[in-house]
Structure 1
Amino acid sequence: MPFYKFGHPSLAEALQLLHPGAVVSTPDQLATILLDQAYKKSIKVLTLTLAGKVVTLVTDGWTDINGQAVTNYVVVCSNLTFFLDSAYTGTQAHDVEFLTADVMRVIAKYDFLEVGAVLTDNTNANQATWKVLQEQNSKTFFHGCVCHASHLLVKDIVQKIKWVDALQSGCKALVSFFRKHHKMWVDLSACLKEQNLCVLAKPGDTRWGSFLACFSTVLAAESVLCLRAGFSLPSLCCVCARVSHRKDEDAEKNGDTCTTQ
């Protein structure tokens, strides 16, 4: 159970049904005791499980539901994965200096681990970071994520094949259109669920396999979409793409820096 849920009213209500008058401590009150004990226990498990083994440190940057930048670190060994660290980076630029220092911070913090490799995304900043870190750590291998590299390769290929690029742009615009109109999205999702179909997937630059997921879900939902819109699927994608493009142009004319995703 996530630690913050200790402060949820429903937990206190449930315990009071079993033990009237029971008082549940707040997360802040428990943090100095239980949280420290849980952390020490996790470190002990980590130390015993990975003793004498060479591990891979995996780092990934993402954005939470509030739009805040977060960097996660996990350690992988065979089929085992352990969470190590998570940090909000705020307005800090993810440049070479920061990325290098942050990787070294985590390695130093968990110095009992034998890190044989460090895995990151394939951004230019990360590639430059590998070079700097490699010079400082000759026995550690620094490289990029193969899934991310494959995704970027597929993205480049799609952009070179005009009809496929137009198809993915249209499908993306179609999914975006429904997702931005809440009632239509809820109704469509409910209709798809009734027919045991997946909701429409939106392709993303950092989501592996999302192009295929988008194509697959849109194609599977073709009959539902055409029935609701009164257009063929290609025509519907074209209409949504034009609407999206027109909104982008209007935003640029109005000096709006936010474009339709």
Structure 2
Amino acid sequence: MYAKVLGAVLGLGIISGAIVAAAPAQAATVGGVSVPAPAQSPPLGMTTSISRIAVQYNLGSPLGLTVTGLKDGGAYRQYQRGFVVYSPATGAQVSRGAIRTAHGKLGYEKGRMGYPTSGELLSANKTSTYQRYQHGTIVWNATAGAHAIAGAIGAKWVAAGGANGSLGYPTSDETGLNGRGASQSFQGGTVVWSSFTGARIMKGAIRTAWIKNGAQAGQLGYPVTDEQALPLGGVIQRFEGGTSITWTPKAGAVVNPGVPHSNI
């Protein structure tokens, strides 16, 4: 009886109480006319994986059959409280709420993020929930909502400790700058990127001074380093415009002339 009930839940064939995969449907010829085979059920492994994730996340009852034919052999199934998305490369993963909405804005599996590669994860400080994808991460926080992090900015965020590091959760989406760069704001600062200078972290008084001086469009240009400690205290950050900004407790943030950077 248990096997019959489980088979009904998973959509499997039942023979003498055993769970089996349905035999592949075959095309037929009727009166000399080829009749296409009926649509086949999803593979047994896919169906089992999707159902397991639905139970794990308490998604409720399915609202339809598994939809196949997605990119790279993927599929999804909708439930009362979310979706389960599957691909052979990433397995079955939950997809729901604000994180799914953010993924959808970027084109779901066809977009820059690809398929999810993890379930929902909680940051160490328990302030945000995040989910990993083939090409980035989407982070949700009750204050800032859900935002995708990818590419060089995403790599910099990961190197800084991700959601558990000094930058914390993202507070904006990635924004283009001057047609040759991008930036993204985080709880603990901003990551600024250009193809000439790479991704750099900006924060605090130095970032404020940079913005007051025209940011990347001003005399300073893009940052070419992160903040670096000064021997006598304070920090310095250098820029492609041949200048730097120093910060000390006594003087605050000061813009200093310097030797032009080789990437100008």
Q: Same fold (TM over 0.5)?
A: no
Structure with larger RCO (C-alpha < 8 A, sep 6+): 1
- Greater C-alpha radius of gyration: 2
TM-score, normalised to structure 1's length?
0.22
Report which of the two has the higher share of strand: 2
TM-score, normalised to structure 2's length?
0.22
Report which of the two has the higher share of helix: 1
